[in-house]
């Protein structure tokens, strides 16, 4: 027996515990702050201490969201990431263990750059909608962190975050329009991670690839929904994949040009009304990879005062390599309440500000542990920060590597 309504029941984010301001970084690098703040639309970025990794972020995002009954209902666990910590062992096995889930959970790790989480969401939604596992839910987590790029021109758009999404037949946050997607894929090497400690690519190629994939996904959506003649009006609001906030503006401008709108004031008015509220959290976190669309949804629910239950959203996801998808859904009746309970602004405010010198030391320490067969994290590397933020709080922390085996413990 199939299920008619499927979507996001709960979601929660973990932004890390450290933050670097863009004014500080721009002064240190002699870079124009206006470009970063006004064009790229980034104010600050999250940074991980050496005792946080993609596994700990995933667990720390999901754990506060899951009540005992939630854990009992989960039948599928998917972790999406391009920051995998092992070439064979799935991160989901650690996540499953530390979230204390039932042993009857199918679990996999998926990789497709920033598209992986959307792919996982659609797979989970189809599984639930099929009715083959009646009453069960799926937990989808995207967890990623940038590699070290000290002094590089793209250093300003880096970041880290994890977002956990509970998918079920009770879409309190967003009901997915099943089968209402446009997809576009082709091979391109715009951004790659050929080794665990290396993240390279061409930013110009990536920008062009994103735009081509955007056009392709929108065309496919229209092909599948011939009754729609203007996507800019079909969607009350649109959440775009955001490697940085300013990318959402470029994407929306391209969409409007397809509808014959070129006037700058008209473009900005449409962007301000339909898209701008979704940028609030990404502006404070930097690039969040596949989590960015979910953070955009959270920001929209938290800051758009006129958001109404039942209005249709368009959500666009792009992953380097590449694959893109435009999908749609209806705002759930409890979206604002669920996002408020996630308390992301409080987590963002609680992060410890870093000086540029501290940030550079943290990045070098994290990089040193990526390929080490033996490595111990230094909990005293930032003075008393571990004792103040972590100790006794029940957060999962990464303690290092012993003969290639990763070590985790509760704070």
Q: Supply 305's token pair.
A: 């005062």
Q: Tell me how far apart the terminal alpha carbons of the chain are, to the nearest angstrom.
A: 44
What DSSP string describes 76-137?
EEEEE-S--S-SSS-HHHHHHHHTT--SS-EEEEE-BTBTHHHHHHHHHHHHHHHTTTTT-E
Distance CA 15, CA 147 (A): 16
Distance CA 171, CA 23 (A): 40
311 is catalytic: no
Q: H or E segment at 142?
A: strand 137-145
Q: How many other CB atoms are found less than 10 A from the CB of residue 289?
A: 29
Q: Supply 221's token pair.
A: 């959506």
**Residue whose entry in the numeric block shows the structure tokens 């999404």:** 165
Catalytic residue among 175, 241, 252, 363: 241
Going by DSSP bridges, is the β-strand pair 74-80/106-110 parallel, antiparallel, or unpaired? parallel
* Sign of the Cα pseudo-torsion (169, 174, 177, 179, in order): negative
Q: Supply 273's token pair.
A: 């009304």
114 is catalytic: yes
User: What is the four-CA torsion angle of 195, 281, 349, 24, rounded to 10 degrees?
Assistant: 60
112 is catalytic: no
Q: Supply 247's token pair.
A: 């990318």
What DSSP string describes 307-337?
--TT-EEEEEEEETTTEEEEEEEEE-TTHHH
Distance CA 287, CA 237 (A): 21
Q: How many other CB atoms are found less than 10 A from the CB of residue 305?
A: 6
Catalytic residue among 9, 50, 114, 325: 114
**Is there a contact between 310 and 335 (Cβ–Cβ < 8 Å)?**
no
Burial class (CB in 10 A: 0-12, 13-18, 19+), 147: middle
Nearest alpha carbon to residue 203 among 160, 158, 239: 158
Catalytic residue among 44, 50, 52, 82: 82
Q: H or E segment at 188?
A: none
Residues annotated catalytic, as ranges: 82, 114, 241
């Amino acid at each position: 027996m199939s299920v008619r309504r499927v979507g996001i029941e709960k979601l929660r984010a973990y932004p890390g515990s450290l933050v670097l301001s863009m004014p500080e970084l721009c002064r240190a690098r002699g870079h124009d702050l206006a470009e970063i703040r006004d064009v790229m639309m980034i104010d600050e970025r999250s940074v991980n201490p050496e005792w946080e990794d993609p596994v700990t972020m995933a667990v720390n995002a999901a754990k506060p969201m899951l009540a005992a009954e939630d854990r009992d209902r989960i039948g599928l666990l998917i972790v999406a990431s391009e920051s995998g910590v092992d070439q064979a062992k799935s991160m989901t096995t650690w996540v499953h263990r530390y979230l204390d889930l039932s042993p009857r959970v199918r679990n996999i790790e998926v990789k497709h750059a920033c598209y992986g989480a959307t792919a996982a969401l659609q797979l989970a939604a189809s599984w639930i909608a099929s009715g083959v596992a009646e009453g069960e839910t799926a937990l989808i987590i995207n967890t990623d962190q940038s590699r070290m790029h000290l002094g590089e021109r793209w250093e300003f758009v880096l970041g880290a975050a994890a977002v956990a999404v509970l998918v079920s037949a009770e879409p309190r946050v967003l009901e997915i329009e099943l089968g209402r997607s446009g997809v576009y894929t082709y091979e391109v090497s715009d951004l790659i991670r050929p080794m665990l400690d290396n993240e390279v690519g061409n930013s110009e190629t990536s920008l062009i690839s994103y735009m081509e994939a955007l056009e392709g996904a929108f065309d496919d959506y229209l092909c599948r929904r011939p009754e729609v003649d203007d996507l800019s009006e079909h969607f009350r609001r649109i959440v775009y994949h955001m490697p940085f906030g300013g990318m959402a503006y470029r994407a929306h401008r391209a969409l409007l040009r397809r509808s014959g709108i070129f006037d700058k004031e008209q473009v900005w008015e449409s962007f301000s009304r339909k898209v701008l509220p979704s940028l609030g959290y990404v502006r404070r976190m930097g690039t969040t990879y596949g989590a960015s669309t979910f953070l955009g949804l959270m920001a929209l629910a938290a800051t758009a005062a006129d958001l109404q239950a039942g209005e249709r959203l368009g959500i666009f996801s792009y992953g380097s390599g590449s694959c893109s998808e435009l999908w749609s859904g209806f705002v759930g009746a409890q979206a604002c309440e669920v996002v408020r309970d996630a308390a992301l602004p409080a987590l963002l405010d609680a992060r410890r500000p870093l000086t540029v010198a501290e940030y550079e030391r943290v990045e070098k320490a994290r990089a040193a542990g990526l390929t080490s067969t033996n490595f111990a994290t230094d909990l005293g590397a930032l003075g008393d920060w571990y004792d103040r933020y972590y100790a006794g709080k029940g957060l999962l922390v990464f303690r290092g590597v012993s003969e290639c085996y990763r070590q985790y413990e509760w704070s």
